[in-house]
């Protein structure tokens, strides 16, 4: 068992490398399927893959694989885009090229490059309206209204429990 579990800094067991290669080559497979394919019991495979040294090695290898895969995929996509652009360019040079193709190609190209008007954003309208109503009044009416406001503000708040009309009920 100790032969399969290397101490950090020691040489990694070839079986770790084989398991990681198989796992990276078959990401769709479940762990028990990988164990069966490599002729390990599920328990022993779990012991191996749960090991800290294995996890560190697997993480490093997976990161390297993902970077390589990403770079190759991006490179291929650039090649496809370049070939497609060349084909469209040749079509556009033909005298019988439909106008729709030219316009659509130009629009898509400019949009992909970040040119053109951004999507129109509907402005948000906020109406903060204050309505002031002015009426004509004489000084006496205004003084009376002010006096009434003073009287109302001095009135005690009536608690419904102490209201005489409700006490009899």
Range(s) of the domain holding residue 76:
14-113
Based on the structure, what is the number of domains in the chain?
1
Percent of the chain with pLDDT over 70: 79
Q: Is residue 7 part of a domain?
A: no
How many helices (H) and strands (E) are present in the chain, helices listed first? 7, 0
Whether pTM > 0.85 for this model: the answer is no
pLDDT at position 117: 61
Q: What is the pLDDT of residues 131-157, one digit of tens each?
A: 777 777 788 888 888 888 888 888 776
pLDDT at 45 exceeding the cut of 80: yes
Kindly report, residue by residue over 108-127, the tens digit of the pLDDT: 776 776 676 666 666 777 77
| 6 touches 13 (CB < 8 A) | yes
User: How many angstroms separate the Cα of 5 from the Cα of each of 15, 18, 25, 42, 64?
Assistant: 10, 14, 23, 17, 22
Asked if the structure places residue 89 within a domain, the reply is yes
Domain presence at residue 90: yes
Residue 150 resides in a domain: no
- Is pLDDT above 50 for 3? no
Residue 122 forms part of a structural domain: no
Taking all residues of the chain, what is their mean pLDDT, rounded to a whole number? 78
137: in domain:
no
Q: Determine, yes or no, domain membership for 24.
A: yes
User: Measured between alpha carbons, how far is 166 from 123 in angstroms, rounded to an integer?
Assistant: 56
Encoded tokens for 111:
């949009």
Q: Say if CB 40 and CB 48 are below 8 A apart.
A: yes
Q: 1-10, 52-61, 152-161: which has the minimum mean pLDDT?
A: 1-10
Distance CA 30, CA 32 (A): 6
State mean pLDDT over 19-46: 92
- Average the pLDDT over 1-25 and give the result: 71
């Amino acid at each position: 068992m100790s032969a399969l579990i290397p101490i950090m800094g020691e040489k990694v067991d070839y079986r770790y490398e084989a398991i990681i290669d198989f796992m990276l080559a078959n990401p769709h497979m479940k762990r028990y399927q990988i164990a069966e394919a490599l002729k390990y019991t599920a328990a022993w495979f779990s012991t191996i893959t749960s090991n800290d040294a294995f996890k560190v090695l697997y993480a490093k290898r997976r990161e390297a694989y993902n970077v390589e895969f990403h770079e190759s995929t991006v490179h291929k996509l650039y090649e496809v885009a370049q070939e497609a652009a060349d084909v469209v360019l040749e079509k556009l040079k033909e005298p019988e090229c439909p106008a729709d193709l030219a316009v659509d190609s130009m629009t898509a190209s400019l949009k992909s490059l970040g040119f053109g008007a951004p999507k129109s954003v509907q402005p948000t309208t906020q109406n903060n309206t204050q309505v002031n109503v002015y009426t004509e009044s004489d000084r006496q009416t205004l003084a009376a209204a002010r006096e009434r406001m003073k009287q109302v503000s001095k009135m005690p708040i009536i608690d419904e429990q102490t209201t005489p009309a409700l006490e009899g009920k």
